[in-house]
Amino acid sequence: MSTALPAPERSRRIPVAFALITAATLALTACGSGGAADTTGGAAPAGRSGTIPTADVVSPVQKDAAAARLLPPDVRARGTLRVAASVGGTPPGAFYREDGRTVVGQDIDFADAVAKVLGLRLKREAASFEAILPALGSGKYELGTGNFGVTDERRRTIDFVTYINDGQGFAVREDSGLKKITHLEQLCGLNVATGAGTTFEVTLEDNKHVCEEAGKEPYSVKTYAEPGAVWPALRQGRADVVMSTINGLRYAVHQQEGLRFLGEYRRLDVGFAFKKGTKLAPAFRAAVNRLIEDGTYDRILKKWGTRGSAIEASRISPPEIKD
């Protein structure tokens, strides 16, 4: 299932979308589920000449009456949910097709499949990543999607329902001397590009002291509101290394010549985001677990080449993964 943004939002974002798709010869249109096995245990994206996967894994999903009964009565009665989606230039999460208006991706498929299980229609709007969590607290939206990692800090104000396990990693140009990042001290003296308002930004800012303690020049954190903008920064030399999601990095370096994935730094659960104290969480957890049971869950992961991010069961706001 694909999604077109509401008209006002489309007109505002189309130029940005095309810029992200074309900048620095990014090939955001290649992926598939039939490639060689990747190191996460899933299927790697298809070659750079491939196309965006179009398998319809959502339409066959049926409503589950037991899960739907867990919805708050007012939500069940109106049958709609207001959703804020972070849509950047970073497949496989959520991104624009070539038309600059149709939204596709793993996050989109999961949200749409859960909605079908619950008998809901999503009223989706694109929003910047860093604006979504505050907007949930204000009541502007009831649900946020955007590969939100579950952290203890976020759990203070946000409820989560997990659906994958992703995490943090690094990528560089092929000419970089970096081989694998196991400690942030290895970044000292470098420019690090990452998304604004992300767990990556928090991790980097909170650990700048490691360079001072080692007597080294601090690293500089370069943040970008549009996730896809980190890649032109890296390719054009404004950044030495990119910190982003494990799945997003694997996908990006597979599609772009001259880039290299440096491996995983740490893992995090990823979940649908809600205002703290939401009554929607039990229904969403039941819906995700239903998708796991009926095989839809695996079909979505296979479509996007992310089987290594599978979870055994959905949970509500689990503690942050610390190892």
Q: If pLDDT is split at 50, 70 and 90, which confidence band does 247 have?
A: very high
When pLDDT is averaged across residues 202-222 and rounded to a whole number, the result is 97
Nearest CA-CA partner of 219 in 237, 195, 234, 240: 240
Number of residues in the chain: 323
Q: Residues 91, 111, 262, CA angle at the centre, nearest 5°? A: 30
8 A C-beta contact, residue 228 and residue 90: yes
Amino acid residing at 245: T
Residue 4: predicted pLDDT = 58
Beta bridge partners of 4: 102
Q: How many helices and strands, by DSSP H and E, does the chain display? A: 12, 11
When pLDDT is averaged across residues 166-188 and rounded to a whole number, the result is 95
Contacts of residue 107, Cβ cutoff 8 Å, sequence gap at least 6: 85, 93, 94, 145, 146, 147
When pLDDT is averaged across residues 303-315 and rounded to a whole number, the result is 95
| CA dist., res. 172 & res. 153, Å (int) | 29
Residue 18: predicted pLDDT = 29
Instruction: Say if residue 282 is preceded by a cis peptide, omega within 30 of 0.
Output: no
**% of the chain with per-residue pLDDT over 70:** 84
Residue 47: predicted pLDDT = 39
Torsion of CA 75, 77, 80, 84, to 10 degrees: -10
Nearest CA-CA partner of 127 in 136, 117, 115: 136
pLDDT digits (tens, 9 = 90+) for 31-86: 222 222 233 333 334 334 447 889 999 999 999 999 999 999 999 999 999 999 99
Q: Is the pLDDT assigned to residue 296 strictly greater than 90? A: yes
| CA dist., res. 139 & res. 305, Å (int) | 34
Residue 99: predicted pLDDT = 87
| CA dist., res. 115 & res. 163, Å (int) | 14
Residue 226: predicted pLDDT = 82
| CA dist., res. 38 & res. 35, Å (int) | 8
Element (H, E) at 78: helix 73-78
Q: If pLDDT is split at 50, 70 and 90, which confidence band does 3 have?
A: low
Residue 41: predicted pLDDT = 35
Nearest CA-CA partner of 300 in 149, 106, 74: 106
Judging by DSSP bridges, how do beta strands 121-126 and 143-149 pair with one another? Answer: unpaired
Residue 46: predicted pLDDT = 36
When pLDDT is averaged across residues 296-301 and rounded to a whole number, the result is 98
When pLDDT is averaged across residues 224-231 and rounded to a whole number, the result is 86
Q: What is the mean pLDDT of the chain?
A: 86
| CA dist., res. 85 & res. 63, Å (int) | 23
Q: If pLDDT is split at 50, 70 and 90, which confidence band does 98 have?
A: confident
When pLDDT is averaged across residues 73-101 and rounded to a whole number, the result is 91
Judging by DSSP bridges, how do beta strands 220-224 and 191-195 pair with one another? Answer: parallel
Q: Specify the higher pLDDT residue, 97 or 192.
A: 192
Instruction: Say if residue 134 is preceded by a cis peptide, omega within 30 of 0.
Output: no
Other C-beta atoms lying within 10 Å of the C-beta of residue 313 = 10
In sign, the C-alpha dihedral spanning 120, 125, 126, 127 is: negative
Query: Which DSSP category does 139 fall into?
Result: T
When pLDDT is averaged across residues 185-194 and rounded to a whole number, the result is 97
Strand, coil or helix: 230: helix
Which residue is associated with the tokens 């859960």?
114
Q: Is the pLDDT assigned to residue 146 strictly greater than 90? A: yes
Exposure class string for 31-51: b at 16+ Cβ within 10 A, else e? bbbebeebebebbbbbeeebe
Q: Is the pLDDT assigned to residue 259 strictly greater than 70? A: yes
Q: Is the pLDDT assigned to residue 148 strictly greater than 90? A: yes
Q: Is the pLDDT assigned to residue 260 strictly greater than 80? A: yes
Residue 5: predicted pLDDT = 59
Residue 9: predicted pLDDT = 42
Q: Is the pLDDT assigned to residue 322 strictly greater than 90? A: no
